[in-house]
Amino acid sequence: MVAGTKIAEFSGIGTLTGTPEQVRTGLDRLRAEQVVALTIEHGNETTAKALAQTVAGLAPLVGAIMQRRQDETLNSIVEALVPEVPPPYHKLVEARMVADARKAVLESGDWLTAAGVAKVAGFSATNPSAQPNKWKKEGQIFALRHRGVDYFPGYALDPSADFRPVKALAKVLDVFRGKKDDWGLAYWFASVNSFLGGRRPQDLLIGQPDRVVAAATDEVAGVLHG
């Protein structure tokens, strides 16, 4: 070792500190494949040693980061080269059935946007979604989310009560809570119901609300005991 030159090893990373002449002489005795040189214009031996130790300590992290990025790049290349696998046929059929069912539901009743609800109910047009969303949050009504827009069932708004939600609807929603999502509720309201003599719940919600609540209760009881 050249006098005044400091050499230390940190996880395979060697550091060498000293004056330019000392380092130059020390490099002649090293067998490293690559060398990184840092110069300090104003500093002492202690500062140089501390800087060398810091760099040596960070070196393994740099290697790990580079390896991770290489792996990520390789995975991206592999994903780009592997062709997309089409979904199984039964999944396509299932998706088609769901799409058809949703289309039928939307076409089966008068669905209103929040602005539409606000208009028929006489609410302010400044913030038309405020009241309908409040009803939904309180469990007085439900809405279908379709292409980023909420649609509220017009059959659930009672004309004799200034187009407020039918009170019985809250009871039905409570019966089905945790058992049907919004689309499931819409399917149920739009489907003929044997308990109602082949009538659809949505057709009787305003005129015979108690029967609709009873039909919902009967369905849940049948599922639980079936």
Tell me the pLDDT tens digit for each residue of 193-207.
999 999 999 999 999
Same-domain check for residues 95 and 141:
yes
145 part of a folded domain: yes
Share of the chain above pLDDT 70, in %: 91
Chain centroid, CA 80 distance in Å? 24
Q: How far is CA 79 from CA 66, 69, 83, 84, 91, in A?
A: 20, 15, 8, 9, 23
Same-domain check for residues 94 and 199:
yes
Same-domain check for residues 100 and 73:
no
Chain centroid, CA 168 distance in Å? 33
Q: Which of 135, 152, 134 is nearest to 143 (CA)?
A: 152
Count of C-beta atoms within a 10 Å radius of residue 67: 10
181 part of a folded domain: yes
Same-domain check for residues 71 and 156:
no
Q: How far is CA 194 from CA 111, 143, 166, 170, 201, in A?
A: 24, 25, 22, 22, 10
- The domain tally of the chain equals 2
| Least confident among 42-46, 126-130, 190-194 | 42-46
Residues 3 and 8: their CA atoms lie apart, in Å, by 14
**What pLDDT is stored for residue 223 in this prediction?**
66
**What pLDDT is stored for residue 2 in this prediction?**
38
Q: How far is CA 107 from CA 35, 76, 103, 104, 115, in A?
A: 74, 44, 6, 5, 19
Cα torsion at 50, 52, 58, 60 (round to 10°)?
Answer: -140
Share of the chain above pLDDT 90, in %: 47
118 part of a folded domain: yes
1 part of a folded domain: no
Q: What 8-state DSSP symbol labels residue 109?
A: S
Give the tens place of pLDDT for each residue, 108-123. 778 999 999 999 998 8
130 part of a folded domain: yes
Domain boundary among 81, 102, 126: 81
38 part of a folded domain: yes
94 part of a folded domain: yes
**What pLDDT is stored for residue 12 in this prediction?**
59
**What pLDDT is stored for residue 210 in this prediction?**
97
What is the edge-to-edge ordering of all strands in the sheet holding 149-153?
111-112, 149-153, 144-146
Chain centroid, CA 153 distance in Å? 27
76 part of a folded domain: yes
Same-domain check for residues 212 and 136:
yes
- Give the largest Cα separation in the chain, rounded: 104
Same-domain check for residues 114 and 200:
yes
Domain boundary among 45, 61, 81: 81
Q: Is the pLDDT of residue 10 over 60?
A: no
Domain boundary among 39, 56, 81: 81
Q: Is the pLDDT of residue 208 over 60?
A: yes
Question: Domain containing 155: what range?
Answer: 89-225
